[in-house]
Chain A
Amino acid sequence: MIRIANGQGFWGDWLEAPVRLIEQGPIDYLCLDYLAEITMSILQKQKQADPSLGYARDFPPLIGRIAKRMLDGNVRVIANAGGVNPVACAEAVRKAAPGIKVAVVLGDDVFGRIDEFVAKGYKMADMDTGEPIAAIRGRIQSANAYIGAFPLAEALSTGANVVIAGRSTDTALALAPMVHHFGWSATDWDKLAAGTIAGHIIECGAQCTGGNCQVDWQNIPDMANIGYPIVEAEPDGTFVVTKHAGTGGRVHSDVVKEQLLYELGDPKNYITPDCVADFTTIHLDDIGPDHVRVSGIRGRERPATLKLSISYENGWKSTGTLVYSWPQALEKARAADKIVRGRLASLGLHFDEIYTEFCGVNACHGPVAQACPDPPEVQVRIGVRSADRKAVDRFTRELIPLVLNGPPGATGFGDGRPPVREIVAYWSALVPREEIRTSVEVLG
């Protein structure tokens, strides 16, 4: 049995989680998932500004903080912290923790190969809309292939203490130690599917240990000290989901079911670079407090293609707010919205969209929200989107004047004008998997 923990569900997750996982009980592998779909484009921009950046900057200091524990306890870390500059990330880790051996997985970055792919006749149509890649060709900011568990397992076989990848799938981080340790082959579809589903359960950190859980949420114990998840994996593909004893939160089949359904598409066809997993074969058993056994998982052959994660520039946006108080708070907020729209129109500015929500009334649930007559306060939230940055910038100056020249009782303007943000949109496409050749580089 090996213990695989996940201490980071996204870049920005709880900084203490990975440290607590390594300090509060035994683990063999610590996975850290840093990349959301748009994170790569943010990192690409950072690399453009400074060629030594472009990776998750929280990662090297974390390794510096836990290096001694890692070496004492023989705990190995697997992270997709490399972003668009995994070698620079590895060098920063070596500086923060000189005694640590680092292996880097390369080959996912295809930013410089888009023309080559187009010349070869790959359509790379957007998987959601079917639009051809030509629609965004000149605006692409980053392009990476999702890579699976086998390149990460190869990196583990070098004996490195830390494995750094760029755009690996979230589930590969947990599957890789199973492939490495148990010697699973690339055609062990059922086992690979089991490890993939283990990865899906823990990839969002505390979302499988009681975080964001609807079931009996008021009574989930000690959320301030919530334990992050650990998978106790067996060579036959079965596993137990748990957390360290003495930590807060709850691991129960109800909680695990919520996470299994999270961001799920067709449950019979969960497609990864390693296999196609079937979520309708999962069997859960509560075998003890905070211990859920998972078994029965079946999988099928991996696809002949790999998915690309492509980011591109798509205009500008800004969102601003004001708060109106009782009485007639909603009527005042609606009047303010009308005034702003009128003033923007009279300036002759063009927007692709102007969208208004009333927080406290209908922002989350729109037409489904229950009616609330004369609420004590309402926040009006107006957002605009345009290819014209100047129009968006002008919008940001139209809210605060309402405090003096609009309906009575406006407040909540203390943070000043809202920022203008560049929209970096996401495009997914397929290429034949033979096009993506990965390699492993070892430092230290």
Chain B
Amino acid sequence: MKVPLSKIAHTRSGDKGDTCNIGVIAYDARHYPVLVREVTPQRVKSFFGGLVQGKVERFELPNLGALNFLLHDSLGGGGTLSLRIDAQGKTFGAALLGIEIDIEERSQ
């Protein structure tokens, strides 16, 4: 069954220079494997389209039921250089809540 990410996870995002980071956290630890399977770096990169010019990296934190994404070259130069209203990527995490994921549990 396809649902928006917001059904099973919450997010927080911020900046490091021109890189935006998004933490994606499962409300229920049982859904962590679904996050790992569905929210891949490739899907995050294609979801944001032209907003992310560089690569997307993913790190796993199973102890927190969470994933951490680094979106490189995504903030219009970042910091003081950026002309964007969201130069710090504060709202990128909220945007990602709209990505459609399949929450069906499958045997590995």
Question: Which residues on A are within 8 Å of B, measured CB to CB?
Answer: 37-38, 128, 212, 214-215, 254, 257-268, 279-284, 296, 314, 317, 319, 353, 355, 357, 359, 363-370, 381, 383-385, 423-426
Evaluate whether A363 and B50 lie within 8 angstroms (CB atoms) in the complex, with A254-B10, A259-B12, A267-B68 already known: no
Evaluate whether A426 and B80 lie within 8 angstroms (CB atoms) in the complex, with A258-B12, A261-B12 already known: yes
Of the candidates B23, B83, B86, B92, which one forms a contact with A264 in the assembled complex, judged by CB atoms under 8 Å apart?
B23
Closest Cβ–Cβ distance, residue B83 to chain A (whole Å): 3
Closest Cβ–Cβ distance, residue B11 to chain A (whole Å): 7
**Segment 26-80 of B: residues with Cβ below 8 Å from A:** 27, 47-51, 59-66, 68, 70, 76-77, 79-80
Which one of B21, B24, B59 has the greatest number of beta carbons of chain A within 10 Å?
B59
Query: Top 6 A-B pairs ranked by shortest CB distance?
Result: A261-B23, A383-B83, A355-B83, A263-B14, A258-B12, A364-B91
Question: Which residues of chain B have C-beta atoms less than 8 A from A366's C-beta?
Answer: 48-51
Evaluate whether A261 and B25 lie within 8 angstroms (CB atoms) in the complex, with A355-B83, A357-B84, A364-B86 already known: yes
Of the candidates B59, B62, B85, which one forms a contact with A266 in the assembled complex, judged by CB atoms under 8 Å apart?
B59
Of the candidates B18, B47, B64, which one forms a contact with A128 in the assembled complex, judged by CB atoms under 8 Å apart?
B18
Whether B95 contacts A364 by the Cβ 8 Å rule is: yes
Instruction: For the A-B complex with A38-B80, A264-B68, A363-B84 known, give 20 more contacts whose Cβ atoms are closer than 8 Å.
Output: A128-B19, A212-B12, A215-B27, A254-B10, A257-B64, A258-B23, A258-B25, A260-B66, A261-B25, A262-B21, A262-B23, A265-B21, A317-B81, A353-B77, A367-B49, A368-B48, A368-B95, A384-B83, A423-B80, A425-B81
Q: Tell me the bound Cα distance from A425 to B77 in angstroms.
A: 10
Evaluate whether A264 and B21 lie within 8 angstroms (CB atoms) in the complex, with A364-B85, A368-B48, A425-B81 already known: yes
Q: Tell me the bound Cα distance from A30 to B82 in angstroms.
A: 34
- Size bin of chain B's contact surface: 35 or more
Q: Tell me the bound Cα distance from A394 to B89 in angstroms.
A: 29
Of the candidates A254, A281, A284, A368, which one forms a contact with B51 in the assembled complex, judged by CB atoms under 8 Å apart?
A368
Question: Which residues of chain B have C-beta atoms less than 8 A from A384's C-beta?
Answer: 83
Q: Tell me the bound Cα distance from A215 to B85 in angstroms.
A: 24
Nearest B residue to A315, CB-CB: B81
Closest Cβ–Cβ distance, residue B9 to chain A (whole Å): 9
Closest Cβ–Cβ distance, residue B82 to chain A (whole Å): 8
Question: Which residues of chain B have C-beta atoms less than 8 A from A363's C-beta?
Answer: 84-86
Question: Which residues of chain A have C-beta atoms less than 8 A from B21's C-beta?
Answer: 261-265
Q: Tell me the bound Cα distance from A280 to B64 in angstroms.
A: 8
Whether B83 contacts A283 by the Cβ 8 Å rule is: no
Whether B61 contacts A353 by the Cβ 8 Å rule is: no
Whether A258 contacts B49 by the Cβ 8 Å rule is: no
Q: Tell me the bound Cα distance from A379 to B66 in angstroms.
A: 36
Whether B61 contacts A280 by the Cβ 8 Å rule is: yes
